[in-house]
Amino acid sequence: MVEDHPIEYINFQGTIPNGEYGAGEVRTWDIGTYESLDDNDDMNAGIDKGKITFRLHGKKLKGEFHMVRSRFGKTQQHNQWLLMKKNDQFADEHFVLDRILDYGSRRDLQTAKTATGNEKCPQRTSTLSKRTKQSHD
């Protein structure tokens, strides 16, 4: 799992240099909120069990999704997960991932992948202790 990131990173997109904490490409692909649809509303319990069900209220991804841990692969830790979209009113059989625009820059993903940005990484001042679940209005 990736730890929670500082809220100051919400608008940052660019490259964190090698040797720095979190080195690599940072892109905001979508923005929004989520809600757990699991019985006990505890996503950590679902992660431990290997299955979580949630609804996304994003700019790009909307609706119900399931994530299940795959028992296949070469790792003993089984850290491969499958993301499945429920066939709900937001399902789109023509959804093309590579044509979706990068959220902050409005570039397509291929351009965003090949761009060499000189954006500066925000200073790390605080971290979120827990993911915030907001209700969708």
Return the structure tokens found at 17.
């240099």
Determine phi and psi for 44, rounding to 5 degrees. -65, -40
Q: pLDDT value at position 22?
A: 78
pLDDT bracket for residue 27 (50, 70, 90): confident
Find the mean pLDDT for residues 30-57.
88
Among residues 89, 112, 91, which one has the least CA distance to residue 100? 112
Q: At a CB cut-off of 8 Å and minimum separation 6, what does 73 contact? A: 80
Find the mean pLDDT for residues 111-116.
54
Helix (H, G, I), strand (E, B) or coil at 79: coil
Euclidean distance between CA atoms 19 and 135, whole angstroms: 38
Euclidean distance between CA atoms 121 and 83, whole angstroms: 30
Does the model's pTM come out above 0.85? no
